Amino acid sequence: MSKIESALDKTVAKLPLLKNWVMTRLCKVWQKISPAFFSLKKLDYPTSKALVIQYKWRILIVALVLFAGSKAYDYFFPPSGKAGAVQTITSIVTEKKDIPLVIEATGTIVSNSIVDIRPMVTNKVEKIHIKDGQDVKAGELLFTLDNRTDTANYEKLKALADDAQKQYLRAKELVAKNFISKAGLETALANAKSAQAAAETARVQLSFDFIRSPIDGKAGIINVFPGTLVQASNTVISATNASSTSTTSSMVTITQLNPINVQFVIPEKDIPVLLENKQSDAPMKVQVTVGNNTQRVFNGEVLVVDNQVDPLIAAVRVKAQIPNEKYELLPGQFARVSLNANTLKDVIAIPSEAIVLNPKGRLVYIVDKDGKVTSKPITVSYEYQGTSVVNGLEAGQRIVVEGKQNLRTGSKVREAKPANAPAAQAK
């Protein structure tokens, strides 16, 4: 037996003593005021007023005691067995169903891939092959730098490499006829390889003058112009006038927008649910809305759950991918994410408004076949958007949803007729 029930039993046991004390006090008050009531001839308005003023505190105490006693009696001895008016309610019949376990979070739209295009060599921009905001493909030519010097150097070294290769082939013929030694052949081979390596280095150097896109994506704002001097560093220098220059972070930024990603965090308490579902082959689904537009919903799948928890916020980072064919999503947008982390199988789910809170916990009212209600304690294991998954109920039980405010165990109820009942019958 709990402490509350024990205290209630002691209080109920003391009710007879309280009753005797109240009756004794009332008798003493009556003995004092009865002479005045029996002298009815002398009991006029001034006398009544003086009597009330004289005994006002005792009259007030008696009224308060009677009121408190009445309320206490109704509380400890509810009129469960008394016949009362039938209350109108709305009810549902419980059934087992599968409920998706949804975790809500906030995050940010991020690009699947983003590259800042920077020069590898110090040179002058000769030609720009793209426009601001243009869609580009991987390998597409973006910029051409002044390549005259690098082209001449490559052609020179390529010619030397070709000549060294011919010398090596001639040396092989002479060794076969014993006109030169094997050492001469090895020297010719070394010269051919060295010349070929020098030519390859010049070819790579020349390729730096042709800047291509490493990914599919969308070009941003171009920060250079034909004639701009660019340097092989973290900044691109662009001349603006005769006395000053301006610097930008890159020649252009290529951003992959389709597909696009959303990055968000999940509280540490929900990590076991994520890891449990991660073991299955089916990917976890997400629904994303951005800004104030909650009507447009973007569907995607979880790509990765980070391998560590951030101790500062007690959360783990999650990244999901969303198709973005129409470029409706841009990196940096604020996003609201609903993650379908798992599915609760064969559970009892009821409307949250059917649950009653009391000092002992949560309960619902069950309607029996005779139209009487009985309170049933329950526990809530999951709640989302007005639906609660509960323990303590069985499938097929009829529970009260609306009209439960004044119900008690034993109260008689009847089902309210739906507002559209006549229309439904007419159909």
Higher pLDDT, 272 or 106: 106
Whole-number pLDDT of residue 34: 61
Chain centre to alpha carbon of residue 190: 64
Tell me which amino acid residue 35 is. Answer: P
Average pLDDT over residues 323-340: 91
Return the sign of the alpha-carbon dihedral for residues 222, 224, 225, 231.
Answer: negative
Handedness of CA 348, 351, 355, 361 (dihedral sign): positive
Instruction: Check whether 109 has a pLDDT greater than 90.
Output: yes
CA distance 294 to 261: 18
This prediction has a pTM of 0.59
Q: Determine the distance from the C-alpha atom of residue 143 to the mean position of all C-alpha atoms in its chain, rounded to a whole number.
A: 42
The DSSP-derived string for 128-196 is E---TT-EE-TT-EEEEE--HHHHHHHHHHHHHHHHHHHHHHHHHHHHHTTSS-HHHHHHHHHHHHHHH
Report whether pLDDT(4) > 60: no
pLDDT-wise least confident of 39-53, 151-165, 195-209, 372-386: 39-53
| Residue whose pair of structure tokens reads 């509380």 in the numeric block | 75
pLDDT tens-digit readout, 63-74: 888 788 777 766
pLDDT at 241: 45
Q: What percent of the chain has pLDDT over 70?
A: 78
In this predicted structure, what is the pLDDT of residue 136? 95
What is the pLDDT, as a whole number, of residue 244?
A: 39
Tell me what pLDDT residue 360 has: 82
Is the pLDDT at 304 greater than 70? The verdict is: yes
> Ranked by mean pLDDT, which of 100-104, 231-235, 321-325 comes out on top?
321-325
- What is the pLDDT of the chain when averaged over all its residues? 81
Quote the radius of gyration of the chain (alpha carbons, Å): 44
The pLDDT assigned to 32 comes to: 64
pLDDT above 90 for 231: no
Give the mean model confidence (pLDDT) for residues 362-371: 90
What is the structure's pLDDT at 139? 94
Identify the helix (H) or strand (E) that includes residue 235: none
Alpha carbons 162 and 205: distance in angstroms, whole number: 19
- Beta carbons within 8 Å of 260's beta carbon, 6+ residues apart: 109, 110, 111, 112, 321, 322, 324, 329, 331
Give the confidence band of 37 by pLDDT, cuts at 50, 70, 90: low
176-188 mean pLDDT: 85
